[in-house]
Each structure stands twice: as structure tokens, then as C-alpha cells.
Homo-oligomer: A and B are copies of this chain.
Amino acid sequence: MTDESTLGYALLGLLTQQPQSGYDLRKLFVATPMGVFSDSPGAIYPALGRLERRGWIAAGPAPRGGRRRRVYAPTPDGRAAFAVWVSQSPTPDDIARRWDVLMLRVALMGGVVKPAVVDQILATTQAAVDEYLASLEAFHAGPGQEMPVLAQLAFESGIESVRARARWIRRARQRAGVRRKR
């Protein structure tokens, strides 16, 4: 079976936090930065259909009276699949090109994996970010010098983003750790 899409996992994670309908989910996606993973009904409803066919979510009983609504909740299989997804160790590609997906996993992993696993993932992330940053800086100091000025500037924007991530991850590990000792 092929992998589920990022959007599918995002929906699954939100349902893990709170059973709700496709319409509710869509409102969430429109209202928050999670909308990057698409906020159109033409993506959300088919994704919910896929999750249902996989047996990862199931719709509750149809409400008697009131509007037609399908309130989905994750099945045990769905919870397990979601736990596997959020527990993935970050790959270099996650760091360099799918940071948003990694942050989605972080945002939704609370209550799903043990604090020790969260720490582990954040530690791996820190190492990978530092390494990636070093490679970008090396490029900038070396072959990057030959690029046109505007190309260099655009590249620096990328470097600054990664620097911001490197700083963030240190704070995040502290905050996540503190919470654990409560």
C-alpha cells in the first residue's frame, strides 16, 4: 500500500485530538497556518475517504435531526499509524525541503508519543539542522560567490531561515524538557 499524503496525516492527527467533521477540519485549515497543506474541499473530502477506506478513521452515527454531518474519529489502527508517522526520525530531506511537514509532526505529536521520543526527535533535528546550515554556509562562502547579487540575496534568505531554525530548536528542546519535569 502506498503512503498516505501529508494532508491525510494532518487530518488524522487532528481527529486524534478531537473527533470532528470534514467541514470543521476545513475551517481549521482555513483559519490557521495549517492551510499550507491545502484547504480546499476537493482535497480534504477525498483524503478523508482514503483514510476511511484504509480503516484508519470511522464516521460516528448520523445525527438524528439537524444537518447531515459525518463526524470522524480515528480507529485503533489509525492511532497506531499516526504514532508511527509522528515518530519518524527526521531525514536530511525533512530538514532541507520538508521543514513544514516536520513542524506538523511536532505540532501534533503531543500526547501521542512519549516525552522521551519527543526529546529524541528534537535532538536528531538539532544535529541535522546544524549540519545542513554548515553545508549552506560553505556553499555561500565558496561557489556561491560567483552567483549574481540577487541570486546571492535569495540564497541568504534561505540561510537566515535555517539559522532561525537552529536557534529555535534549542529553545524548543528546553521548553519541551521543562514541560516534562512538571
Residue positions of A touching B, CB distance < 8 A? 32-33, 35-36, 96-97, 99, 103-104, 106-111, 118, 136, 139, 147-151, 153-158, 160-161, 163-165, 167-168, 171-172, 175-176, 179
Task: Tell me the bound Cα distance from A106 to B171 in angstroms.
Answer: 32
Q: How far is the CB of A32 from chain B (nearest CB, A)?
A: 8
Number of copies: 2
Check A155 against B33 for contact (C-beta < 8 Å). yes
In the complex, 12 of the A-B residue pairs with CB atoms within 8 angstroms, ordered by the A residue number, are: A32-B139, A33-B96, A33-B155, A33-B158, A35-B97, A103-B157, A149-B175, A149-B179, A153-B175, A157-B172, A161-B161, A161-B165
Q: Which residue of B lies closest to A169 (CB)?
A: B157
